[in-house]
Amino acid sequence: MTQEKLKLTIAHLYPKLLNIYGDFGNVLTLKRRCEYRNIDVEIVNVNIGDEIDIANNDIYFIGGGQDKQQIEVSRELQKQKDKLTQAAKDGRVFLAICGGYQLLGKYYLPHDKDKLDGIGILDAYTVAGDKRFIGNVTANTDFLEPNTLVGFENHAGLTYLEDGTLPLATVVIGNGNNSKDKTEGARKNNVFGTYLHGSVLPKNPHFADYLIKTALEVRYKRPIELEKIDDAFEWNAHNALVGKKY
Ligand code: GLN
C-alpha cells in the first residue's frame, strides 16, 4: 500500500514585526525536519490586515519583538482573537516566543506604556520588570526525552501563570518566566509559549519533532510515528549548551 503523502501548513503570524533574534529559524526548522521526512510543508505568512483561514493551518508560529512592535500586533490580534481561540480549542499547535508568547496571554503591561491586550489562549499575564533578563537558559520539561530544553532569553517582561496553564519547563539555569517561581514558558493543550530565543527549535530537535508529530496527529486524526533522521549535529549543539551559563 503506498504511504499517504503527509502535509502540514504553518501560519507565520506577523513575521515583519515579530522576528527578533531570528525567531524565523523556528519555522525553517519545522519545515526542514518535515521535508527530511518527505512531508510537504506550506508556509502562510500572515501580515497586518490579512485574514487568517483557520480551516487549513496546522501550526501557528509567532516570534518575539520589542514593545513597539508588540503594540501594533496586539491591536491586530484582537481582530483575530475569536479565530485563534477556536484554533487553540481545536487542538491546533501554537509556538509563541517571548513577545509573541506574552500576547497569547491575557495582557502585557510594558514600562510607561498602556496595557497591551493579549488574546488569552494562555492563562497568563505579563508585567515589565525593572531588570532585563539576558543570557543562556537550561530548563527541564516533563514531556520530552531527554527532558532538557536550551535557549537564550532577552526580556524585561515578567510572566505569571494562572490556573489552567502549565509551565513548559522548570528553570535550571537562567530566569525563565519571572526569575522567582522557576517556571519557564507555558503550555495549555497544544499551545506552547517560551522565552527561549536562539532560535529555540534548531537546537532542541526533540521539541521540534514533538510539535510536528502533534500537529500531524491533529490533522490526520490518527497516531503518527516520525521517521528517525540524522540530527547528530543538532544534538551536539543541544548537549554543548545544557547546563552552560556562559
Ligand atoms: N518586549 C518584550 C520584553 O522585553 C519581549 C522581548 C522579546 O520578544 N525578546 O519582555
DSSP letter assigned to residue 141: -
Contact assessment for residue 188 and residue 96, using Cβ atoms and an 8 Å cutoff? no
Residue nearest to atom 3 of ligand 1 (CA): 155
Q: Would strands 186-188 and 169-173 be described as parallel, antiparallel, or unpaired?
A: unpaired
Residues 152-195 have pLDDT tens digits of 999 999 999 999 999 999 999 999 999 999 999 999 999 999 99
C-beta neighbour count of 60 within 10 angstroms = 28
CA dihedral 192, 193, 196, 201 (to 10 degrees): 30
Mean pLDDT (10-residue bins), the chain, 246 residues: 86 96 95 98 98 95 96 98 98 98 98 95 98 98 98 98 98 98 98 96 98 98 98 98 94
C-alpha grid cell, residue 140 = 527541564
DSSP letter assigned to residue 14: -
Residue 235: what pLDDT? 98
Residue 193: what pLDDT? 98
Find the helix or strand (DSSP H, E) in which 72 lies.
Answer: helix 67-89
Residue to substitute in 102, 130, 153, 184 for testing ligand 1 pocket (most ligand atoms within 8 angstroms of CB): 102
- Separation of CA 20 and ligand 1 centre (Å): 9
- Separation of CA 168 and ligand 1 centre (Å): 18
Contact assessment for residue 70 and residue 112, using Cβ atoms and an 8 Å cutoff? no
Find the helix or strand (DSSP H, E) in which 46 lies.
Answer: strand 40-46
Rounded to 5°, angle at Cα 82 from 61 and 79: 80
